[in-house]
Amino acid sequence: MSLRFQPVFMPAGAAALIIALVILIRSLIARNSYEILLSCIALLLLFVLGITGIWKSRKLKSMESGWKPPFPMTANAGEDSLISRLEERLPLFFRLHFVVRGRFYPAGSLKGCPVFAETSVSRGKSTARLSFDFPMSGVFQGEGFCTLRDIFGFFSFTCGVTQSRTIKVRSSPCFGKNYHINPQSGAEDRRNKTSSNEERYYMREYTPGDRFRDINWKSSEKIDTFITRISPDNQEKVSRIEVYFRNYGPVDTGNRERGRKQRENRGRKKRQKVSLEALWLLDRAKARLSYFLRSLMEQHSSYVFHVRAAGGSWEIEDSEDLDAFLEELAGLSFSSAQNEIAVQQGAGDLYVFSTACDIGLPGFLVACNPRPVSVCLIQPGISTANLYPREPSQTIEKKQTIGSFGSWLKKIFIYSNEKNLEILSVKDFPAKGCIPSLRWLFGSKINQLGVHANRVENIYAEVKF
- 175-230 pLDDT, tens digit per residue, is 766 666 754 444 444 444 444 443 445 666 766 656 666 777 777 776 777 777 66
pLDDT score recorded for residue 8:
82
Q: Are 170 and 290 within 8 A, CB to CB?
A: yes
Residue 266 lies in a domain: no
Residues in contact with 261: Cβ distance below 8 Å, sequence separation at least 6, in sequence order: 253, 271
**Which helix (H) or strand (E) element contains residue 128?**
strand 128-131
Q: How many domains does the chain have?
A: 4
Size (the chain), residues: 465
- Which comes out higher in pLDDT, residue 259 or 228? 228
Q: Say whether both 412 and 298 belong to one domain.
A: yes
Asked which of 36, 56, 76 is the last residue of a domain, the reply is 56
Residue 82 lies in a domain: yes
- 395-424 pLDDT, tens digit per residue, is 333 444 444 444 443 344 434 444 568 888
Q: Say whether both 87 and 32 belong to one domain.
A: no
- Average pLDDT estimate for 305-311: 88
Q: Say whether both 281 and 375 belong to one domain.
A: yes
pLDDT exceeds cutoff 50 at 45: yes
Q: Say whether both 290 and 425 belong to one domain.
A: yes
Taking the C-alpha atoms of residue 150 and residue 95, their distance in angstroms, rounded to an integer, is 6
Q: Say whether both 98 and 220 belong to one domain.
A: no
- 79-131 pLDDT, tens digit per residue, is 899 999 888 889 989 999 999 999 999 988 888 899 999 999 988 888 999 99
pLDDT exceeds cutoff 60 at 386: no
pLDDT exceeds cutoff 70 at 370: yes
Q: Say whether both 210 and 302 belong to one domain.
A: no
Residue 197 lies in a domain: no
Q: Say whether both 33 and 72 belong to one domain.
A: no
Q: Say whether both 51 and 82 belong to one domain.
A: no
- Which comes out higher in pLDDT, residue 114 or 441? 114
Out of 6-15, 274-283, 384-393, least confident range = 384-393
Starting at the edge strand found earlier in the chain, the sheet holding 66-68 runs: 66-68, 80-84, 128-131
Range of the domain at 408: 239-254+272-464
Q: Say whether both 391 and 245 belong to one domain.
A: yes
Amino acid at residue number 268 = R
- Percentage of the residues of the chain whose pLDDT score is greater than 70: 73
Q: Say whether both 319 and 452 belong to one domain.
A: yes
pLDDT score recorded for residue 237:
47
Q: At what angle do helices 33-59 and 11-30 cross, to 10 degrees?
A: 150
pTM exceeds cut of 0.85 = no
- Binning the chain into helix, strand and coil, the percentages to the nearest 5 are 30, 30, 40
Residue 12 three-state SS: helix
pLDDT score recorded for residue 369:
83
Residue 337 lies in a domain: yes
Picking from 242, 460, 240, 416, the residue whose alpha carbon sits closest to that of residue 344 is 242
Q: Say whether both 217 and 85 belong to one domain.
A: no
For 263-309, strand residue ranges (E) read 303-309
Residue 59, CA distances (Å) to 84, 89, 147, 160, 461 in order: 18, 11, 13, 9, 52
Picking from 83, 61, 44, the residue whose alpha carbon sits closest to that of residue 5 is 61
Taking the C-alpha atoms of residue 1 and residue 142, their distance in angstroms, rounded to an integer, is 26
